């Protein structure tokens, strides 16, 4: 059967869209108390450009309050001086079925974040908190969709980490190749909207990976380059509400047309380091 034959009808999509339900989530976040752009490890970072740390903190608190206002719980890990990117909690681990697959960062500037996040999980009572043998950057490249793990590679996470993550988390893995350095993590190019639905920017992926996504998610929402370029896909969904950068206006309209409720937020300062709502948010799945 071809992908086209698998594609839902308009009536089926409308029925599904009308039944969208928000589920309460638990998130881990880290205040950007020590946020700065002091080095460049992705194309978004420019140490010569000023960063307003106080504004970054205010925007971060507004994001956390947005989650709480939607009924979600926000846990916090204490930031560590000297780790300016620790605010990007999504990179700290991947959690599914109550199991934790720890991060092992590629760049020396972030290596200490891995043990810091793993220590938090252990102190929070997670009995299955696993240290990674292979380089991976948590939910930056490992995204849970229902009972499947979409795993990105090409810039940060090693392919060997995909099988390791799948074994630890008990999930089948689909490997996706990233080809554009502006979308160095999977969560900058693809957003999980619910257990069956994603949004993504095809230009970030190899041709083979685009084919995989088309086959697995024939009713996916396709983002354009303009929305991808403001990290519009670095978004967080509870199945109904989608918290995304306020600049991603066209994507917000596509989400609304499909029955989701966009919740725009301002994260201009953290975007200077290549981060958006999802980068700041690690989901603690039971």
Confidence of residue 1 (pLDDT cuts 50, 70, 90): very low
**Pairing state of beta strands 236-237 and 241-245?**
antiparallel
The pTM of this model reads 0.93
Q: In this prediction, what percent of the chain has a pLDDT beyond 90?
A: 93
Contact 60, 279 (CB under 8 A): no
**Pairing state of beta strands 99-102 and 93-96?**
antiparallel
pLDDT at position 245: 98
Render the chain in DSSP notation, one character per residue.
Answer: --HHHHSPPHHHHHHHHTT------EEEE---TT----S-SSTT--TTS---HHHHHHHHHHHHHHHHHTT-EEEEPPP-TT-TTTT-GGGGEEEETTEEEE-B-SSGGGTTHHHHHHHHHHHTT-S-EEPPSS-B-GGGTEEEETTEEEEEESSSS-HHHHHHHHHHHT--EEEEEB--GGG-SGGGTEEE-SSS-EEE-GGGB-HHHHHHHHHH-TTPEEPPHHHHTTTTTS-EESSSEEEEETT-HHHHHHHHHTT-EEEEE--HHHHTTT--TTTT-EE---
Question: Can you say whether the dihedral through the CA atoms of 129, 156, 262, 14 is positive or negative?
Answer: negative
CATH architecture of 22-283: 5-stranded Propeller (3.75)
**Catalytic positions, please?**
185, 279
Mean pLDDT of the chain, nearest integer = 94
Model confidence pLDDT, tens digit, residues 50-80: 999 999 999 999 999 999 999 999 999 999 9
Confidence of residue 5 (pLDDT cuts 50, 70, 90): very low
Q: Is the pLDDT of residue 143 over 50?
A: yes
Dist CA 204 CA 131 (whole Å): 29
């Amino acid at each position: 059967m071809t992908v086209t034959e698998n594609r839902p009808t308009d009536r089926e999509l409308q029925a599904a869209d009308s039944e969208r339900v928000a589920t309460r989530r638990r998130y881990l976040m880290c205040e950007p108390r020590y946020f700065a752009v002091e080095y460049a490890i992705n194309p978004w970072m420019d140490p010569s450009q000023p960063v307003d740390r106080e504004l970054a903190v205010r925007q971060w608190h507004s994001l956390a309050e947005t989650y709480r206002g939607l009924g979600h719980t926000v846990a916090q890990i204490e930031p560590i001086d000297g780790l300016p990117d620790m605010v990007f909690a999504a990179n700290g681990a991947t959690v599914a079925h109550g199991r934790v697959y720890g991060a092992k960062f590629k760049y020396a500037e972030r290596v200490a974040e891995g043990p810091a996040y793993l220590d938090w999980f252990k102190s929070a009572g997670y009995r299955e908190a696993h240290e990674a043998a292979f380089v991976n950057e948590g939910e930056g490249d490992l995204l849970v969709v229902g009972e499947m793990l979409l795993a990105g590679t090409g810039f940060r996470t090693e392919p060997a980490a995909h099988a390791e993550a799948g074994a630890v988390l008990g999930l089948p893995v689909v490997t996706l190749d990233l080809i554009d350095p502006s979308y160095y993590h999977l969560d900058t190019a693809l957003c999980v909207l619910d257990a069956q639905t994603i949004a993504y920017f095809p230009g970030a992926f190899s041709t083979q990976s685009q084919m995989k996504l088309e086959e697995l998610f024939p009713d996916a929402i396709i983002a354009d380059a303009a929305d991808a370029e403001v990290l519009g896909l670095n978004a967080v969904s509870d199945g109904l509400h989608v918290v995304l950068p306020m600049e991603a206006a066209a994507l917000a309209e596509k989400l609304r047309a499909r029955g989701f409720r966009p919740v725009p937020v301002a994260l201009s300062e953290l975007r200077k380091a290549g981060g958006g709502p999802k980068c700041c948010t690690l989901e603690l799945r039971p």
